[in-house]
Amino acid sequence: MIVMKFGGTSVESSEAIERVAKIVGSRRKQSPVVVVSAMAKVTDQLVAMGHKASSGDCEASIGLLQSLRERHLQAALELLGAKKCAALVPKLETHFSELENFLRGLAAVRELTPRGSDYLLSFGELLSSLIVADAFAVRGLNAAWVDSRECLVTDDKHTRALPQMPQTRERSKKKISPLLSKKRIPVMGGFIASTADGVPTTLGRGGSDYSAAIIGAALDAARIEIWTDVEGMMTTDPRLCPDARTIERISFNEAAELAYFGAKVLHPATLLPAIHQNIPVYVLNSRNLRSTGTQITARTPHSPDTFRAITAKTGVSIVNVVASRGIMVHGFLRSVFEALDRHSTSVDIVAISEVSMSFTMETKGIPKGLLTEMEQIADVTCEDQQAIICLVGEDIHGKPGIAASVFNTIAEAEVNIRMISQGASEINISFVVKESDVPRAVRRLHEHFFPAKGPALSLQKTQEQRQGRGTRVNGNASHGKNGAGKKKSARESKAAKSVLGEKSAAIRPGLNL
Ligand code: ASP
Ligand code: MG
């Protein structure tokens, strides 16, 4: 069997769900289990409703609920037609009235607890999965709606609960395997789960990917497909750098590193269950079926690129903690780490000396009280609006000169580096720069480490330049397997221009100038 997960934008409307039904239909023989997110933006709207209600503005929260209700009923009607829709509406309405009661209760007590928040947010995935299951059935797919809360068992860390695999495995097998043996297609909501006692929990924002991987691991899937609205994982954020391209193959370790350091495509925890059981993960585009997306596996073939990708994580702060004079140095680091531990905070990059420590954290994740507590033992300063740039690639292991070329490139971009880190595993080089320097630094690094592909491109480009001809470039430079090659040619020639400007281009193997 395989797991197919569709994100919010892949189920955002009736047309989108229509596409999903086609995609799932094409995989019918492989026994798919389908996991869906809430329709795009719905979880954010539920959060907004919760805020409004718990601050006493009940009417505003009910107003938001009405528009949510209309959106779901509309999509159901478009997908199912009046008659079939009439059968689903009572189920949906039950959820809407439960939600309304909850919001009224919130407005009365004026407090939204983490436990209440999990209950509130669970409606998004419940509603979308019910609609998708019926939409499949109407299109001849033998779908069966499955309540994820009866399959995924977690601890009680509300808003970011952790799966309990043995129980999840047992319950999922019991619920889902009989359906698969009857050739049915189970459809379930991602992100939502429950404790062993049945209290609703969620896996944290963006957690539907994680659900898909947990279900895949619980049922020993042959593969996990994450269907989204981009062409897989990219060499960098295409909004920062239009020359970014899809990564065809990447290893679990590299992908996990990228997800952790800011690549938005995958939830950072997604890969853990897959790694554990060595299940390949594919990131695919539900709007472009011809694209092959990204394949994530334990091992990958050698790639000519030095790095697999470059990410940038913004919204980061540097915290500097320097032991106050006169305080015994002995035990200083231990006190700092203990303070971090008491506030359950994790740090990204750390630089340590005997009497000082600098670390980075997500600015919005700095707990109240942490810095005040540290001020008892040290001088503390905090700098916001920083970013971590991270270059990831397993092939850098044991190769000299790579850090030098990263930092030379950054120097050429006239960007100042605040902190540097390269772990002993040598899978990434990360450093901290000012947030406002990110676009410049990333573009420059991408130009340097991911030059436009192929000698024919550069050769033809130079000949055309010499002859003063137009810029249309073809040949094996076009890496789009999907007809995107033509569209990309203008971009690629731009990239080629910058490559040809680089000294290193002249000595690149195969660059036959
Ligand atoms: N709907 C949830 C969220 O928006 C989970 C997900 O989409 O993965 O965070
Ligand atoms: Mg997502």
Provide the 10 A C-beta neighbour count for residue 437: 20
The CATH number of 2-147+158-229, from 3.30.1240.10, 3.20.20.110, 3.40.1160.10, 3.50.20.10, is: 3.40.1160.10
Output the pLDDT for position 368. Answer: 83
Q: Are 167 and 178 in contact (CB under 8 A)?
A: no
Q: Identify which has the larger pLDDT, 4 or 259.
A: 4
108-117, 123-132, 270-279, range with the lowest pLDDT: 270-279
Per cent of the chain over pLDDT 70 is: 87
The answer to whether the CB of 482 falls within 8 A of the CB of 291 is yes
Is CATH 3.40.190.10 correct for 309-501? no
Q: How do residues 292-351 score in pLDDT, each as one tens digit?
A: 999 999 988 888 889 999 999 999 999 999 987 666 677 888 889 999 999 988 888 999
Span from the CA of 39 to the centroid of ligand 1 (angstroms): 9
Nearest protein Cα to ligand 1, atom 8: 206
Determine the residue of 5, 10, 37 to mutate for testing ligand 1's pocket, defined as the one with the most ligand atoms within 8 A of the Cβ atom: 37
Give the tens place of pLDDT for each residue, 145-169. 999 999 999 999 999 999 999 999 9
Res. 493 pLDDT band, cuts 50 70 90: very low
Which ligand 1 atom is the nearest neighbour of the CA of 208?
Answer: 8
Task: Provide the sign of the torsion angle of the four alpha carbons 388, 389, 395, 399, taken in this order.
Answer: negative
Q: Which of 45-59, 300-314, 414-428 is predicted most confidently?
A: 45-59
Q: CB–CB of 469/447 below 8 Å?
A: no
Q: State in Å: Cα 329 to ligand 2 middle.
A: 45
pLDDT at 423 over 80: no
Give 10 Cα–ligand 1 centroid separation in angstroms: 12
Alpha carbon of 262 to ligand 2 centroid (Å): 13
Q: Quote the CA–CA distance of 375 and 56 in Å, as a whole number.
A: 37
Element (H, E) at 500: helix 484-501
Q: How far is the CA of 210 from the centre of ligand 2 (A)?
A: 9
Q: How far apart are CA 316 and CA 434, in angstroms?
A: 9
Average pLDDT rounded to a whole number, residues 72-91: 97
Give residue 452's pLDDT.
Answer: 81
Q: Which of 105-109, 183-187, 381-385, 476-480 has the lowest mean pLDDT?
A: 476-480
**What mean pLDDT do residues 416-443 have?**
92
Per-residue pLDDT, 440: 96
* Domain ranges across the chain: 2-147+158-229, 309-501
In this prediction, residue 484 carries a pLDDT of 37
**Cα–Cα distance, 493 to 396 (Å, whole number):** 28
Among the bound ligands, name the one nearest to the CA of residue 210.
Answer: 1
pLDDT number for residue 476: 30
Could you say which ligand is closest to the alpha carbon of residue 207? 1
Q: Are 173 and 213 in contact (CB under 8 A)?
A: no
**Among 159, 208, 214, 264, which residue has the most ligand 1 atoms within 8 Å of its CB, making it the best to mutate?**
208
Measured from the Cα of 191, ligand 1's closest atom is 5
More confident site: 130 or 264: 130
Neighbours of 368 (CB within 10 A): 7
Please say if the pLDDT value at position 481 is more than 60.
Answer: no
Give the nearest ligand 1 atom to 204 CA.
Answer: 9
More confident residue, 382 or 346: 382
Residue 328: per-residue pLDDT: 62
Q: Report the distance separating Cα 89 and Cα 81, nearest Å.
A: 12
> Which of 43, 49, 123 best tests ligand 1's pocket when mutated (most atoms within 8 Å of CB)?
43
| 11-24 pLDDT tens trace | 999 999 999 999 99
As beta bridge partners, residue 359 has 319, 350
Q: Would you call 466 exposed, middle or buried from its count of C-beta atoms within 10 A (0-12, 13-18, 19+)?
A: exposed
Starting from the CA of residue 159, give the closest ligand. 1
pLDDT of 257: 87
Q: Give the residue with greater pLDDT, 106 vs 458.
A: 106
CA 208 to ligand 1 centroid distance, Å: 6
Looking from the CA of 358 toward its CB, the CA atoms found within 13 Å total 14
**Window from 75-84, 102-111, 270-279 with minimum mean pLDDT:** 270-279
Please identify, by atom number, the ligand 1 atom nearest to the C-alpha of residue 205. 9
Tokens matching residue 240 = 């920062």
Measured from the Cα of 125, ligand 1's closest atom is 1
pLDDT at 327: 62
Q: Which of 117, 127, 205 gets mutated to test ligand 1 (max ligand atoms within 8 A of its CB)? A: 205
Q: Is the pLDDT of residue 465 over 80?
A: no
CA of 255 from ligand 1 middle (Å) equals 20
Confidence of residue 260 (pLDDT cuts 50, 70, 90): confident
Ligand 1: nearest atom to the Cα of 124? 1
Give the chain's radius of gyration (CA, Å). 25
pLDDT of residue 303: 82
Predicted pLDDT of residue 513: 22
Measure 209 CA to ligand 1 centroid, in angstroms. 9
Which ligand places an atom closest to the C-alpha of 38? 1
Residue 423 half-sphere exposure toward CB, CA atoms < 13 A: 12
Q: How far is the CA of 212 from the centre of ligand 1 (A)?
A: 12
Question: Residue 458 pLDDT more than 70?
Answer: no
CA of 286 to the centre of ligand 2 (A): 13
Residues in the chain, total: 513
Those residues whose C-beta lies under 8 Å from the C-beta of residue 264, and which sit 6 or more positions away, are: 237
290 burial (CB, 10 Å; 0-12 / 13-18 / 19+) is: exposed
Task: Specify the pLDDT at position 271.
Answer: 87
Vertex 84, ends 81 and 90: CA angle to 5°? 115
Across the range 40-53, mean pLDDT stands at: 98
Atom in ligand 1 nearest the alpha carbon of residue 267: 8
Dist CA 225 CA 213 (whole Å): 9
Other Cβ atoms closer than 10 A to 495: 25
Give, in order, the Cα–Cα distances in Å from 72 to each of 8, 30, 201: 13, 30, 23
Residue nearest ligand 1's atom 5 by CA:
206
Across the chain, mean pLDDT equals 87
pLDDT, position 263? 74
Which residue lies with its CA nearest to atom 2 of ligand 1? 206
192 and 127 in contact (C-beta within 8 Å)? no
Measured from the CA of 44, which atom of ligand 1 is nearest? 4
Residue type, 340: L
Q: Which ligand is nearest to the CA of 228?
A: 2
Q: Which atom of ligand 1 is nearest to the CA of 206?
A: 8
Residues touching ligand 1 (Cβ under 6 Å) are: 7-8, 37-38, 43, 124, 190-191, 205-208
pLDDT for 506: 25
Q: How many Å lie between the centroid of ligand 1 and the Cα of residue 503?
A: 45
Atom of ligand 1 nearest to the CA of 211: 8
Tell the residue number behind the tokens 């006692």, with chain if given.
197
CA separation for the pair 330, 343 (Å, rounded): 22
Ligand 1 center to residue 118 CA distance, Å?
12
